[in-house]
Structure 1
């Protein structure tokens, strides 16, 4: 899961500062699989979030944004 720090650009690091501290939206559900229906992270990503480096968080943000399936990305 760790990202290679050399793959993270300054522009990418800046985007972390523009985002909330966490992808969590307070609608936690892993009822049907290991992915939270609210934020799109795995249970392990949720439980380890505070210990992850900025690079690791960026990789997760990029993935959940790209997938766009979590409620975080659904209108209304």
Structure 2
């Protein structure tokens, strides 16, 4: 079955990694656990993370 999902990069990482003051990366908006588990997540789990971080204005490049 073909779906009309938006084509997204493989990962939301923008190489601006910082979790200095909290558990959320200031570059991509993922939690430390989400970053660590990303390669093990199902596509559905990744899509839920993508939806959340996009709604919050991530990923940020500066």
- Give TM class, smaller chain: 0.7 to 0.9
User: Alpha-carbon deviation of 1:66?
Assistant: 0.3
User: Alpha-carbon deviation of 1:58?
Assistant: 0.3
Q: What TM-score do the two structures reach when normalised by structure 1?
A: 0.71
SS at 2:54 equivalent = helix
Q: Which runs of 5 or more residues in structure 2 are unaligned?
A: none
Q: Distance in 2 between matches of 1:69 and 1:46?
A: 14
Q: Distance in 2 between matches of 1:21 and 1:44?
A: 17
Runs of 4+ displaced beyond 4 Å: none
Q: Which residue of 1 aligns with 2:29?
A: 40
- What is the number of residues matched between the two proteins? 60
Structure ranking higher in helix proportion: 1
Q: Distance in 2 between matches of 1:53 and 1:69?
A: 20
Q: What TM-score do the two structures reach when normalised by structure 2?
A: 0.86
Conservation of the 8 A alpha-carbon contact between 1:36 and 1:70: no
